[in-house]
Structure 1
Amino acid sequence: MLRNEMYGLRRPLVVYRCKSSGKSLRWHQSYRKQEFTWDFEVPPFGNGVVIHQCHFMSSQGTADVIIKTLSMTSILCGGHVCKYVIGPNGIYFVGFETYYPHNIFLRFVELVRPVVKLVEPWKAWSPRQLKEFRAERNRTRSEDDDYMEDHD
């Protein structure tokens, strides 16, 4: 699940797309407080893994995130309850992680704890990217104007 929590910004819109080897999701626009979920099939046991590559764009910049869903993560998160939060500083993982605090009586104990981790901070738009984006937007607007003139 992806949740937009871009609070304190004039433009909280985020556009993103995720894809894996078996599935490509279309581009999504996400406004503040919106959530988006998709199903992924991870073997419930063993060492199965599903990898999604996600590209995010916002007024804060861009971010590329690789979401690895392991069998263990799937079990801990109930399939897709773990979520990624889109925040003003970047993309965060909100879920659970296993950890091994220390050995007790020469045995390692495996525990689970809730976690909120910054996965990828926003990379600011470069001047070249901004120039290309503005040129593309202006070209699209002029094409729309030409289309409207032809059909009037």
Structure 2
Amino acid sequence: MKKLGIVIALFVTSLAVRAQAVNTHGTALTRPDVLDIKENTHNFGKIPQGRPATTTFEIVNTGTTPLKLDNVQASCGCTTPVWSRDPIAPGATAKIVVGYNAYGEGAFTKTVTVVYNTNMTKLLTISGEVYKTPATSAPDNASVQLLKQIN
């Protein structure tokens, strides 16, 4: 008897939850997405090793109320996002600057998660390839040594 009561209670609870998620037309209610990112990916191409690279992602508040970026977090320590913590007015734009330190040689793909309006998220992606730079700025030139001996 107790099991039957538990099953009935769970069934009634699930119906109540479903009823709250459906509007009067019988379609599910969804929260409108109010954060629009013009470009959510950026490819740096080839980057010399040891030279940081940055890019800027532009975001737009397409909603009717101010938008707050709660957090912008990179997938690793080699990527650093910088953003304003001020609310973004409806129709206004803001920028997220993402830097990559280009320390490790080779191809990379990194993500940045944007958390806004408490629990909504968007994903930004940067990619590219870091190439090893020469140890010296230019190869030794034997002609320079010869000129020094003549003068």
TM-score with structure 2 setting the length: 0.33
Higher alpha-carbon Rg: 2
User: Which structure has more RCO (C-alpha within 8 Å, separation ≥ 6)?
Assistant: 2
